[in-house]
Structure 1
Amino acid sequence: MTAERTNEMAADTPRAEIHHDHRDVTGGWLRPAVFGAMDGMISNVSLIAGFVGASATPHLVILSGLGGLVAGAFSMGVGEYVSVASQADLARAEIEVERTELLTNAHAEREELAQLYIARGVEPELAREVARQLSRDPERALEIHAREELGLTPHDLPSPILAALSSFLAFSVGALLPLLPFLLGATVFWPAVLVTGVALFAAGSAVVRITARPWWYGGLRQLLFGAAAAGVTYGVGAAIGTHVA
C-alpha cells in the first residue's frame, strides 16, 4: 500500500467529534461551598433570631452574630479538612492494596478486569485481549482497576485544603448576610430576615440550576428550611430568654 493511499484512507476515516464539555464534578469544592453558605446563613440567622426573641440589645445581637460567624467558619473549615483528608487517606490505602495485587497477582487481576468487560457485554475473547493490552502499562492498569473497582481516580482525589477553604469562605459570607443589617445600624429583626430570605432563595435557585432541577423548587426549599430554623430559635429565645439572668 502506497503512502498516498494510506493518507487518503486516513483522511476518509471519520473522526470522533466533541459536541459538549463536562463540568468539573470531582474537584471537591462545590459540596463544601454550597453546604458552608447555606449553613452560614441558616445557623447565623437562627442564632440572631434567638437573641432577638430574648429581647437582647442590638449590641448583643451583633456580638452573637460575630461569634457565630467566626466560630462556625473555623469549625466548618476544620471539619471539612479532616473529613476530606480522612477520605483521601482511605482512598490512597485502598489504591495501594490494588497496586500490590497488580504486582503480586497480575494474572488474576487481568482476568478480573476481563470479567468486568464480559459482564458489560464484551465478547470473552475480546475482553481478555483488551485487559491484556491495558495491563501492559502498570500505572494505566492501576488507574483502570481503581476506577472500575473502587470508583476512584488515583491522581484526581479531592483536595482537603480546597474543601476547607471553600467551606470557610462560603460559611463566612453566608453568616455575614443576616448580620449585615445590624452592622449597618438596624435595630429591628425584619431587615435581617429579608436579606437572608432573599439570599436563601437565590442560593437555592442557583444550586438547582447546576443540578438541572426547577429553580423555584430549590429556592423555596431553602427558604422554608431557613424560616423553620429561625422560627424555632426565635420561639426558644422568647420563651426562656426573660428567665436567664
Structure 2
Amino acid sequence: MSEPSTDRTEHTEDHLDGSGAMLKVIVFGGLDGILTMFAVVSGCAGAEISPLQTVCVTLGTLLASAFSMGYGEFISCKAERDYVESERQREEVEVEEKPNHEKQEMYEIYTQRYNFSHEDATTLVELSFRNKPFFLRHMMAEELGILLVEDELTPAKKGLSSSPVATTAQAG
C-alpha cells in the first residue's frame, strides 16, 4: 500500500459555488412556465378571443402559476428537509442506544454489498464508529440512501426563487 503524499502544495478544484443546487428549480420552472403559457395562448387563439382578453387571461395565468410553483417548491423542500431530519434523529438515537445493532448493520453492508472480508469490514466499522458524526452520515448514506448535506438554500428561498423563474419564463 502506498503512503499518502507529503506534497503540501495547495490543491484546488474549480467547482460551482453552490448555485448548482438551483439548477433543478430553474430548469423545471422555466420549462413549466414556457409550456403553460404556450398552452394558454394557443387556447386563447383557438377560442378567437380579443387580444385584450388574451392579455388578461395570460396575466392571470402568469400570476397563478408563479404562486403555485413557488408554494409547491417551498412545501416539497420543507417536507424533504423534515423527513431527512427525522431520519437523522432516529438514527442518532439508535447509534447511542443500540450501538452493536448499528455496527452490525454496517458490517453486513460492507460484507454483502461491497464484498469486504470479515476482518476488513470489522476494521472499517470499528474505525468509523470512533467518529460518531462520520459514522452517522455514512450509515445514513449506505443504509437509507440519504446524503446529509448542509443546504444553504432554505425551502423559503427555493420557493421564492422558483416564482420569478416561472414568471420570467412565461413573460419571455
TM over 0.5: yes
TM-score, scaled to structure 2: 0.83
Give unpaired runs (5+ residues) of structure 1. 1-8, 178-245
2:51 is aligned with 1:80: no
- Check 1:72–1:14 CA distance in 2 against 1; reply closer, same or farther (3 A cut): same
Report the equivalent of 1:48: 41
2:134 is aligned with 1:140: yes
TM-score, scaled to structure 1: 0.60
User: 1:116 is matched by which residue type in structure 2?
Assistant: I
Which structure is larger by alpha-carbon Rg, 1 or 2?
1
User: 1:32 is matched by which residue type in structure 2?
Assistant: V
Contact 1:27/1:159 (<8 A) preserved: no
2:138 is aligned with 1:168: no
Give unpaired runs (5+ residues) of structure 2. none
Alpha-carbon distance between aligned partners in 2 of 1:161 and 1:122, rounded to the nearest angstrom: 43
User: 2:122 is matched by which residue type in structure 1?
Assistant: R
Alpha-carbon distance between aligned partners in 2 of 1:95 and 1:106, rounded to the nearest angstrom: 15
RMSD after superposition: 2.9
Measured against aligned partners, the alpha-carbon deviations of 1:18-47 in whole angstroms (never above 9, x if no partner) come to 897666899642222211111111111211
Alpha-carbon distance between aligned partners in 2 of 1:99 and 1:46, rounded to the nearest angstrom: 49
SS in 2 for 1:101: helix
Report the equivalent of 1:121: 115
- Check 1:122–1:94 CA distance in 2 against 1; reply closer, same or farther (3 A cut): same
Measured against aligned partners, the alpha-carbon deviations of 1:84-113 in whole angstroms (never above 9, x if no partner) come to 111211111111111111010001111211
Matches within 5 A, 1:58-97: 58-97=51-90
- Check 1:87–1:69 CA distance in 2 against 1; reply closer, same or farther (3 A cut): same
Q: How many matched pairs?
A: 167
Alpha-carbon distance between aligned partners in 1 of 2:17 and 2:74, rounded to the nearest angstrom: 20
Report the equivalent of 2:94: 101
SS in 1 for 2:104: helix
> 1:81: how far off?
0.6
> 1:12: how far off?
7.3
2:156 is aligned with 1:153: no
SS in 2 for 1:29: helix
- Check 1:155–1:10 CA distance in 2 against 1; reply closer, same or farther (3 A cut): closer
Alpha-carbon distance between aligned partners in 2 of 1:107 and 1:130, rounded to the nearest angstrom: 14
SS in 2 for 1:152: coil
Contact 1:111/1:128 (<8 A) preserved: no
> 1:55: how far off?
1.6
Alpha-carbon distance between aligned partners in 1 of 2:141 and 2:19, rounded to the nearest angstrom: 13
